C-alpha cells in the first residue's frame, strides 16, 4: 500500500511539473518597441491602453503585417510605450515597464496549443533545441482568419505532427516557421 501511495505521488509530481512548465525567450524589437506575442514580459509593467487596428480587407493580412501595423499605431497613440503585448485579433496592449526591461518573455506551456511552446518574434533561452524543419505558413492574405493567430500556428503544428515529432515552433517573420525539437 505504501509503495502504491509513493508511486502515485511520484506520478502526480512529474505530471504537475510538465503541466506547469514555462519557457523563456528573448524578444525582438520593431520600431523601438519590444514585441510580446503570445507571451508576457518577465519585467513588471503597467498597461497604457489598447491599440486597435481596423482591417479594410485590402491590405496584406499576414502575421508580420498585423504586428507591424499594431506597432506603428502604438507608437503614435502611446509614444511613451516600451512594448506591446499581442495575443490575437486586431487589438494589442501598449505597455510601459516599471523598471528597465530585460527583454525576456515568459511563455506558459499551458497557454500554448497542443502543450507545445510557440515562440513568436522571440528566441528561446536556457533551452537546447534543434531546428528540424522549416514549414511555410498557410496563405494569410485577405482573410479574417489571421485575427486568430493561435489557429494559424495550431494548424501548422497539427500538420507537422502528422509527419514528424516536434516540440515547438519558432516564428520570426516572413512566411516560414521553424519546427524545433528539445
pLDDT tens digits for range 1-57:
555 444 445 555 444 444 457 899 999 999 999 999 989 999 999 999 999 987 666
The whole-angstrom distance between residue 11's C-alpha and the CA centroid of its chain comes to: 29
Does 138 or 66 have the greater pLDDT score? 66
Three-state DSSP class for 119?
Answer: strand
> C-alpha grid cell for residue 55?
482591417
**What domains, with CATH codes, occur in the chain?**
26-97 (3.30.1660)
What secondary structure letter does DSSP report for 126? Answer: S
Task: Tell me phi and psi for residue 15, to 5 degrees.
Answer: -65, -40
Q: What is the CB-side half-sphere exposure of residue 134 using CA atoms within 13 A? A: 5
Amino acid at each position: 500500500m505504501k509503495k502504491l501511495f509513493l508511486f502515485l505521488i511520484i506520478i502526480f509530481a512529474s505530471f504537475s511539473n510538465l503541466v506547469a512548465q514555462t519557457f523563456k525567450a528573448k524578444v525582438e524589437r520593431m520600431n523601438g518597441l519590444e514585441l510580446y506575442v503570445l507571451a508576457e514580459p518577465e519585467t513588471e509593467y503597467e498597461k497604457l491602453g489598447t491599440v486597435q487596428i481596423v482591417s479594410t480587407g485590402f491590405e496584406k493580412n499576414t502575421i508580420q503585417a498585423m504586428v507591424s501595423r499594431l506597432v506603428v499605431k502604438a507608437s503614435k497613440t502611446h509614444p511613451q510605450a516600451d512594448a506591446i503585448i499581442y495575443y490575437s485579433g486586431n487589438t494589442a496592449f501598449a505597455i510601459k515597464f516599471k523598471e528597465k526591461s530585460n527583454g525576456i518573455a515568459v511563455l506558459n506551456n499551458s497557454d500554448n496549443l497542443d502543450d507545445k511552446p510557440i515562440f513568436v518574434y522571440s528566441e528561446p533561452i536556457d533551452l537546447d533545441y534543434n531546428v528540424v524543419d522549416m514549414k511555410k505558413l498557410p496563405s494569410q492574405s485577405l482573410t479574417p482568419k489571421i485575427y486568430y493567430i493561435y489557429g494559424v500556428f495550431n494548424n501548422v503544428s497539427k500538420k507537422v505532427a502528422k509527419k514528424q515529432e516536434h516540440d515547438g515552433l519558432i516564428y520570426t517573420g516572413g512566411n516560414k516557421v521553424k519546427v524545433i525539437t528539445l
